[in-house]
């Protein structure tokens, strides 16, 4: 086999990642005792494909995920088989393939990358330049040079001592390529991003001092630089604008192995010890690519190189920053979203989340911190932009909760206002306007405090609109509440008015007479005065203005008046009127001037007092025709302002002409009963049967008497009819029986006549038209005159006799 491991290494198969390698110690030349896992990656293979595993290696195998900028990247260049891999393995403890001593063939193909042992340094072992294996095709050489310059801070140029000064050697061709691609990459950014070229001169036997060798190399480099065709505007640029140079030598590995080892140890310090005067990873060489973004950045660059597009590093760095910042933001945002989820349910169900402001602030802060930690390493402008995007996005999501909480605060404030108002108004003597103002202040303070607590910094959230809405809402609520309370007050005032009016007015009307309406108006005026005083007292409580007070007073007077007229109407329905008239009539007819009940004697004149009493009573009816509004106190007529739904004149009317007549008629009929009763009481005292009539009755009726008492049937009939008759006679109720009998007779007669008329109509209808006779009916009950209420006194006299 051609390929053998380095003399100090165990066997390493070509392109196979070893599991365990005994790496040399980095601090001294003795081999390390502990086996160490070191993984290398074929970053760009022979097919020029970029490995998709770089990210996995960085994050998992090399544990550089959180290294940020705290890592360095170097690449090694040089002709084939010049001990590049050997040097790297020695320097960094890596496990790159090394060619066997015997067969001088290319071992490194493409680009390999590995982490240095116990250090945050990544090393790229680049395929050696020679042209022998790839023929004259320098394509890959150029591509790999471009890739290495774009990504690495330090380029190690490996060459044998005897190659120094051979201007046309492979190394000089390589360096020319490096210079060209560097100009292509950083042409416009001169001085900003420099690359360090570290020349390692191998197999230095010591005949020519390093200073001479480096001067020769420098001269060659200058010459190459001058020979380059530079881009426009950069014709005068110097090589030192883009490169720093460092030169060192290593002893012959085979001839001076110990010296070789100690040289390597010294050289390693330049890579590992920042305080070393020749420390290579200086900040000016950094490509500013955080470790977690290297896979994207390097992949993007290789992609550009392969597609032969202009490779513009700043753009690449911006692209990287955009990609990574988005990735970082998404990760941070996922955690953020998960955390804020807990607010959703309570806010949507109308609750107020305690400490929402501090909680939102903390969750947002954690998300932004997590973003800042990783993203701040990237392109400053992009980072700033992405940070602002993320903040806006987070604020937008939180704003929904801010607004939701505001709404809930608003609702709660209104509820508090309502409860406070209700409670305060229940307290006796509390003034509405004072209660409203203090409650309003309290709930607005509550709302403002809650709203301020949830307004986060770096937002343009505003609660002004909600505050305005709340103020309006409270105002409307207070107005409605005031209206309600006012109505309540007016209702109780109405009750008060009714109480004040009802009884006195009823009394006044039950004692009808000329001064009746005067008394009623006096009662009304007194009630209104009382009501006005109450209203004035309440006006202060409700903060009523002059206009409102004036309107309420007008309403009060009208209301009292309506209540009064209602009472008058109630008192003047037929039943009440008849009662009033009957009472007055009884007073006059049944009682004497001393107020004692009258007992009529046979010689007494009943007709005259009856007529007088009835006429005087009937005279009262017209009094109820209309309310007389003459105020006795002022001596002038009282009047109320008319309104749309109130007609004062109409309200004065009590009894119409027709109703007056009806009531008069009804009353007259009722009074007849009193007259009859009076008459009957006189007849009863007159009806004394002579004694001989009794004797004659006994003698003449003896046989009949015996026939009756001996015949059970007769006896029963006599008992059934006679006993009730005797009882009624005894109780002086025969008059009533007589009245009923007459009524029954009258109704029976009417029914009979109607039936007869019906039969005759029927018969007449069956006859032909020319045979029909004009109808004649028997006269109705004769004793009822044309004016039904007026019973002829003569006929009444006849009947009573
Ligand atoms: N003379 C001498 N030979 C060395 C030195 N270092 C390594 N070699 C030998 O040089 C040969 C090539 O070594 P590699 O490390 O494979 O060289 P390379 O440059 O990586 O080779 P490619 O990857 O094929 O380009 C091996 O046989 C090594 O033993 C050295 O310092 N001096």
ipTM, two decimals, is 0.97
More confident position, 564 or 679: 564
Contact present, 155 and 149 (Cβ < 8 Å)? yes
More confident position, 639 or 365: 365
For 530-586, the pLDDT digits (tens) are 988 888 887 777 777 888 888 888 888 888 999 999 999 999 898 889 998 988 898
Q: Is the pLDDT of residue 470 over 50?
A: yes
Cross-strand partners of 198 = 156, 246
Among 186-200, 387-401, 547-561, the range with the most confident prediction by mean pLDDT is: 387-401
Q: Is the pLDDT of residue 254 over 50?
A: yes
Main-chain dihedrals φ then ψ at residue 154, nearest 5 degrees: -125, 135
**Confidence at 270, pLDDT banded by 50, 70, 90:** very high
By most ligand atoms within 8 Å of CB, the mutation choice from 40, 76, 86, 132 for ligand 1 is: 86
How far is ligand 1, taken at its centre, from the CA of residue 454, in Å? 69
The rounded distance, in Å, linking the Cα atoms of 82 and 129 is 10
The rounded distance, in Å, linking the Cα atoms of 301 and 143 is 10
Where are the CATH 3.40.50.300 domain residues in the chain?
A: 40-311
Of 94, 81, 103, 130, nearest to 3 by C-alpha is: 103
Q: Is the pLDDT of residue 407 over 80?
A: yes
Please tell me the predicted confidence (pLDDT) of residue 776. Answer: 43
The rounded distance, in Å, linking the Cα atoms of 500 and 563 is 10
How far is ligand 1, taken at its centre, from the CA of residue 104, in Å? 9
246: tokens are 């460092």
Over range 121-133, report the average pLDDT: 78
Among 173-177, 388-392, 781-785, the range with the most confident prediction by mean pLDDT is: 388-392
Please tell me the predicted confidence (pLDDT) of residue 768. Answer: 60
How far is ligand 1, taken at its centre, from the CA of residue 106, in Å? 10
Cross-strand partners of 157 = 77, 199
Over range 200-227, report the average pLDDT: 90
How far is ligand 1, taken at its centre, from the CA of residue 84, in Å? 6
Q: Is the pLDDT of residue 30 over 80?
A: no
Q: Is the pLDDT of residue 36 over 60?
A: no
What is the CB neighbour count within 10 angstroms for residue 559? Answer: 18
Q: How far is CA 595 from CA 95, 274, 586, 615, 721, in A?
A: 145, 138, 11, 19, 41
The rounded distance, in Å, linking the Cα atoms of 627 and 520 is 9
Positions of E strands within 51-110: 72-78
Q: Is the CB of 113 under 6 A from ligand 1?
A: no
Could you say which of 3.30.930.10, 3.30.420.40, 3.40.50.300, 2.60.40.10 is the CATH number of the domain covering 40-311?
3.40.50.300
**Confidence at 154, pLDDT banded by 50, 70, 90:** very high
Q: Is the pLDDT of residue 6 over 80?
A: no
Can you say how many angstroms the Cα of residue 636 is from the centroid of all Cα atoms in its chain? 64
**Residue whose pair of structure tokens reads 């007609």 in the numeric block:** 647
Q: At what angle do helices 574-589 and 607-618 cross, to 10 degrees?
A: 140
Over range 263-285, report the average pLDDT: 93
Q: What are the residues whose beta carbons fall under 8 Å from the beta carbon of 65, sequence distance 6 or more?
A: 58, 59, 291, 292
Please tell me the predicted confidence (pLDDT) of residue 464. Answer: 94
**Residue of the nearest CA to atom 22 in ligand 1?**
81
**Confidence at 629, pLDDT banded by 50, 70, 90:** confident
Residues in the chain: 801
Cross-strand partners of 247 = 199
Query: From the alpha carbon of 202, which atom of ligand 1 is closest?
Result: 31
Q: Is the CB of 204 under 6 A from ligand 1?
A: no
Please tell me the predicted confidence (pLDDT) of residue 173. Answer: 78
The proportion of the chain whose per-residue pLDDT surpasses 70, expressed as a percent, equals 86
**Confidence at 661, pLDDT banded by 50, 70, 90:** very high
Q: Is the CB of 98 under 6 A from ligand 1?
A: yes
Indicate yes or no: pTM above 0.90.
no
Over range 504-520, report the average pLDDT: 89
How far is ligand 1, taken at its centre, from the CA of residue 98, in Å? 7
Over range 482-506, report the average pLDDT: 88
**Confidence at 428, pLDDT banded by 50, 70, 90:** confident
Please tell me the predicted confidence (pLDDT) of residue 646. Answer: 82
Main-chain dihedrals φ then ψ at residue 544, nearest 5 degrees: -80, 140
Over range 735-747, report the average pLDDT: 82
The rounded distance, in Å, linking the Cα atoms of 516 and 725 is 48
DSSP for residue 262: H
Is the C-alpha dihedral spanning 341, 342, 345, 346 positive or negative? Answer: negative
Query: From the alpha carbon of 128, which atom of ligand 1 is closest?
Result: 25
Of 205, 137, 216, nearest to 172 by C-alpha is: 216
639: tokens are 């009047």
For 641-658, the pLDDT digits (tens) are 777 788 888 888 999 999
The rounded distance, in Å, linking the Cα atoms of 572 and 559 is 20
Q: How far is CA 277 from CA 126, 266, 284, in A?
A: 27, 12, 15
Over range 354-366, report the average pLDDT: 94
Q: Is the CB of 316 under 6 A from ligand 1?
A: no
Please tell me the predicted confidence (pLDDT) of residue 167. Answer: 64
Please tell me the predicted confidence (pLDDT) of residue 37. Answer: 44
The rounded distance, in Å, linking the Cα atoms of 498 and 730 is 51
The rounded distance, in Å, linking the Cα atoms of 351 and 343 is 10
Annotated binding-site residues read 78-85
Please tell me the predicted confidence (pLDDT) of residue 247. Answer: 95
By most ligand atoms within 8 Å of CB, the mutation choice from 24, 83, 261 for ligand 1 is: 83
Please tell me the predicted confidence (pLDDT) of residue 188. Answer: 61
Q: Is the CB of 109 under 6 A from ligand 1?
A: no
Contact present, 246 and 280 (Cβ < 8 Å)? yes
Please tell me the predicted confidence (pLDDT) of residue 356. Answer: 94
Cross-strand partners of 203 = none
Averaged pLDDT of the chain:
82
Over range 603-618, report the average pLDDT: 88
Q: How far is CA 743 from CA 400, 737, 781, 782, in A?
A: 91, 10, 10, 13
**DSSP conformation letters of 132-194:** TTTTT--HHHHHHHHHHHHH-SEEEEEEEGGGTT-TTSHHHHHHHHHHHHHHHHHGGGTTTS-
Q: Is the CB of 129 under 6 A from ligand 1?
A: no
Is the C-alpha dihedral spanning 588, 594, 599, 600 positive or negative? Answer: negative
**Residue of the nearest CA to atom 9 in ligand 1?**
83
Characterize the bridge pairing of strands 636-637 and 630-631: antiparallel
Over range 14-38, report the average pLDDT: 39
What is the CB neighbour count within 10 angstroms for residue 164? Answer: 21
Q: Is the pLDDT of residue 13 over 50?
A: no
Positions of E strands within 607-736: 630-631, 636-637
715: tokens are 């006896």
How far is ligand 1, taken at its centre, from the CA of residue 201, in Å? 13
**Confidence at 101, pLDDT banded by 50, 70, 90:** low
Q: Is the CB of 203 under 6 A from ligand 1?
A: yes
3-state SS assignment for residue 67: coil
Query: From the alpha carbon of 6, which atom of ligand 1 is closest?
Result: 29
Q: Is the CB of 272 under 6 A from ligand 1?
A: no
Please tell me the predicted confidence (pLDDT) of residue 798. Answer: 38
**Residue whose pair of structure tokens reads 């505003």 in the numeric block:** 462
How far is ligand 1, taken at its centre, from the CA of residue 242, in Å? 30
Is the C-alpha dihedral spanning 98, 101, 107, 111 positive or negative? Answer: positive
Please tell me the predicted confidence (pLDDT) of residue 82. Answer: 86
**Confidence at 360, pLDDT banded by 50, 70, 90:** very high
The rounded distance, in Å, linking the Cα atoms of 442 and 681 is 85
């Amino acid at each position: 086999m051609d390929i053998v491991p380095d003399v100090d290494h165990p066997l390493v198969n070509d392109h196979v990642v070893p599991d365990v390698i005994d790496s040399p110690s980095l601090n001294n030349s003795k081999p390390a005792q502990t086996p160490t896992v070191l993984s290398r990656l074929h970053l760009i293979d022979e097919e020029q494909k970029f490995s998709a595993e770089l990210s996995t290696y960085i994050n998992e195998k090399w544990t550089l995920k959180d290294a940020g900028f705290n890592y360095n990247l170097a690449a090694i260049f040089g002709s084939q088989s010049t001990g590049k891999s050997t040097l790297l393995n020695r320097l960094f403890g890596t496990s790159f393939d090394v060619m066997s001593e015997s067969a001088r063939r290319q071992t490194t193909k493409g680009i390999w990358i590995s982490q240095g042992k116990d250090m945050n340094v990544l090393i790229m072992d680049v395929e050696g330049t020679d042209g022998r294996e790839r023929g004259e095709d320098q394509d890959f050489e150029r591509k790999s040079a471009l890739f290495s310059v774009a990504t690495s801070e330090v380029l190690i140029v490996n060459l044998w001592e005897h190659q120094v000064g051979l201007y046309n050697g492979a190394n000089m061709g390589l360096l020319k390529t490096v210079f060209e691609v560097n100009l292509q990459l950083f042409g416009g950014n001169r001085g900003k991003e420099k690359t360090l070229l570290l020349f390692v001169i191998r197999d230095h036997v010591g005949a020519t001092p390093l200073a001479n060798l480096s001067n020769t190399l420098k001269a060659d480099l200058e010459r190459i630089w001058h020979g380059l065709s530079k881009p426009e505007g950069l014709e005068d640029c110097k090589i030192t604008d883009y490169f720093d140079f460092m030169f060192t030598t290593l002893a012959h590995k085979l001839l001076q192995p110990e010296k070789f080892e100690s040289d390597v140890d010294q050289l390693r310090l330049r890579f590992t010890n920042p305080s070393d005067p020749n420390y290579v990873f200086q900040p000016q060489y950094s490509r500013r690519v955080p470790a977690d973004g290297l896979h994207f950045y390097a992949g993007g660059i290789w992609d550009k190189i392969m597609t032969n597009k202009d490779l513009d590093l700043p753009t690449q760095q911006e692209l990287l920053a955009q990609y990574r910042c988005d990735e970082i933001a998404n990760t941070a945002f996922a955690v953020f979203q998960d955390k804020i989820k807990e607010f959703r349910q309570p806010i949507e169900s109308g609750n107020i989340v305690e400490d929402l402001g501090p909680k939102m602030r903390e969750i947002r802060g954690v998300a932004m911190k997590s973003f800042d930690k990783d993203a701040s390493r990237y392109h400053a402008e992009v980072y700033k932009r992405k940070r602002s995007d993320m903040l806006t996005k987070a604020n937008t999501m939180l704003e929904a909760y801010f607004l939701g909480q505001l709404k809930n605060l608003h609702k709660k404030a209104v509820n508090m206002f309502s409860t406070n108002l209700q409670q305060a108004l229940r307290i006796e003597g509390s003034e509405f306007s004072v209660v409203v103002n203090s409650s309003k202040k309290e709930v607005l303070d509550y709302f403002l405090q809650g709203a301020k607590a949830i307004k986060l910094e770096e937002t343009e959230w505003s609660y002004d609109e909600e505050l305005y809405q709340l103020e309006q809402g409270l105002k409307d609520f207070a107005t409605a509440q005031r209206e309600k309370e006012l109505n309540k007050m007016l209702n109780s005032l109405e009750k008060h008015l009714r109480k004040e009016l009802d009884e006195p007015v009823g009394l006044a009307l039950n004692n009808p007479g000329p001064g009746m309406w005067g008394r009623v108006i006096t009662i009304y005026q007194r009630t209104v005065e009382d009501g006005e005083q109450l209203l004035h007292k309440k006006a202060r409580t409700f903060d009523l203005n002059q206009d409102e007070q004036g309107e309420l007073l007008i309403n009060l007077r009208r209301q009292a008046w309506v209540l009064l007229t209602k009472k008058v109407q109630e008192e003047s329905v037929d039943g009440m009127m008849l009662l009033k008239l009957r009472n007055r009539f009884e007073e006059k007819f049944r009682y004497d001037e001393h107020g004692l009940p009258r007992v009529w004697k046979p010689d007494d004149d009943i007709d005259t007092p009856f007529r007088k009493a009835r006429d005087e009573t009937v005279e009262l009816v017209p009094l109820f025709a209309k309310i007389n509004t003459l105020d006795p106190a002022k001596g002038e007529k009282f009047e109320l302002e008319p309104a749309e739904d109130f007609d004062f004149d109409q309200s004065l009317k009590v009894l119409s002409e027709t109703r007056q007549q009806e009531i008069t008629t009804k009353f007259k009929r009722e009074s007849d009963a009193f007259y009859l009763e009076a008459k009957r009481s006189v007849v009863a005292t007159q009806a004394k049967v002579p004694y001989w009539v009794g004797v004659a009755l006994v003698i003449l009726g003896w046989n009949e008497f015996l026939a009756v008492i001996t015949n059970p049937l007769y006896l029963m009939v006599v008992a059934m009819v006679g006993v009730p008759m005797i009882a009624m006679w005894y109780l002086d109720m025969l008059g009533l029986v007589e009245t009923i009998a007459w009524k029954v007779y009258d109704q029976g007669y009417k029914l009979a006549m109607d039936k007869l008329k019906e039969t005759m109509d029927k018969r007449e209808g069956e006859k032909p038209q020319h045979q029909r006779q004009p109808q004649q009916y028997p006269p109705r009950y004769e004793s009822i005159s044309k004016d039904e209420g007026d019973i002829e006194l003569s006929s009444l006299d006849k009947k009573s006799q």
